[in-house]
């Protein structure tokens, strides 16, 4: 699958960044442009997200294969791969499936464990937006208020709205809501490992996030023995948005 991507920077170490669920490469433009002074940064839309193709298949095996195809197509040598949340699980699966295709990996606020589904209300909210009759993003925000109380999360979701010329310029989602809804349990699946990954692996968690718990470290170590865990104080699940300066500092230090 040919994934849509944005690129910033022309020289230096190649970095590939994968967004989380309901996200896109757009979410990483600010970070990518800062890192572009030293690195080549590829910000990729995963399948069923952003401007990448849609597919009924949606799991970490196919998403890691998409990433391998992207690296091969662009002839990227030994990239550093960064993934946030769902993107972090794609990165971990990729590392297990293609251990010789990258130099280092950075996983942002997710562990290789099972997570129970906790996006039901958001999916109900997305489905409740009457796209053919929607007149504005403000209207969409009002509808989503019944399903998601946090304004920041609603604005993050609304970034996926666009005017689709193929549908008479009506509003449409950049995310494949039906397929994601059908496969939402897959997003929380535990990763199964047949072997270990020896490359350097940096796990970054937010001090205010519950995604990586102390008891998860053993599971991380079993798969990624050459790992380090860093906690960003005052940050929640969206570390790169909550504390971008610290996130960029950590990233630079790790990549160098």
- pLDDT tens-digit series, residues 148-158: 999 999 999 99
Q: What is the pLDDT of residue 118?
A: 87
b/e burial code for range 110-119 (CB count within 10 A of at least 16 → b):
bbbbebeeeb
Question: What domain count does the chain have?
Answer: 2
Residue among 247, 197, 211 nearest 35 (CA): 247
pLDDT of 234 higher than 90: yes
Q: Which range among 31-35, 191-195, 210-214 shows the weakest confidence by mean pLDDT?
A: 191-195
- pLDDT tens-digit series, residues 126-140: 999 999 999 999 999
pLDDT of 192 higher than 90: no
CATH of the domain at 54: 3.40.50.1820
Could you tell me whether strands 104-108 and 161-164 are parallel, antiparallel, or unpaired per DSSP bridges? unpaired
Same structural domain, 197 and 171: no
- pLDDT tens-digit series, residues 27-78: 999 999 999 999 999 999 999 999 999 999 999 999 999 999 999 999 999 9
Same structural domain, 76 and 139: no
Work out the number of other CB atoms within 10 angstroms of the CB of residue 62.
16
Same structural domain, 17 and 103: yes
Q: What is the pLDDT of residue 194?
A: 81
Q: Looking at 136, 165, 182, which one is the last position of a domain?
A: 182
Residue 108 pLDDT class (50, 70, 90 cuts):
very high
Same structural domain, 177 and 205: no
Q: Can you give the residue range of the structural domain that contains 78?
A: 5-114+190-255
Same structural domain, 21 and 71: yes
Residue 193 pLDDT class (50, 70, 90 cuts):
confident
The residue count for the chain? 256
Query: Does the pTM exceed 0.95?
Result: yes
Mean pLDDT for the stretch of residues 202-212: 97
Same structural domain, 232 and 195: yes
Report the chain's mean pLDDT, rounded to a whole number.
96
Same structural domain, 13 and 104: yes
Q: What is the pLDDT of residue 202?
A: 98
Residue 119: which region, alpha, beta or left (left: phi > 0; alpha: psi -120 to 50)? alpha
């Amino acid at each position: 699958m040919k994934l849509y991507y944005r690129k910033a920077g022309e020289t230096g170490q190649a970095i590939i960044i994968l967004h989380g669920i309901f996200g896109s490469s757009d979410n990483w433009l600010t970070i990518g442009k800062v890192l572009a002074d030293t690195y080549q940064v590829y910000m990729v839309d995963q399948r069923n997200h952003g401007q990448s193709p849609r597919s009924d298949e949606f799991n970490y095996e196919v998403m890691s294969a998409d990433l391998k195809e992207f690296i091969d197509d662009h002839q990227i040598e030994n990239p550093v791969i960064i993934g946030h949340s769902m993107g972090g699980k794609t990165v971990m699966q990729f590392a297990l499936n293609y251990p010789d295709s990258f130099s280092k990996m950075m996983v942002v606020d997710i562990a290789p464990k099972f997570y129970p589904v906790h996006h039901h209300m958001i999916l109900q909210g997305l489905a409740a937006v009457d796209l053919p009759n929607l007149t504005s993003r403000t209207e969409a925000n009002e509808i989503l208020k019944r399903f998601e109380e946090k304004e920041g999360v609603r604005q993050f979701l609304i970034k996926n709205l666009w005017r689709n010329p193929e549908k008479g310029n009506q509003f449409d989602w950049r995310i494949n809501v039906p397929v994601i809804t059908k496969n939402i349990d897959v997003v929380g699946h535990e990763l199964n490992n047949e072997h270990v990954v020896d490359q350097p692996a940096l796990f970054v968690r937010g001090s205010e996030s519950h995604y990586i718990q102390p008891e998860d470290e053993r599971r991380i170590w079993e798969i990624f023995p050459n790992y380090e865990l860093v906690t960003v104080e005052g940050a929640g699940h969206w570390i790169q948005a909550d504390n971008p300066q610290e996130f960029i500092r950590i990233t630079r230090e790790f990549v160098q």
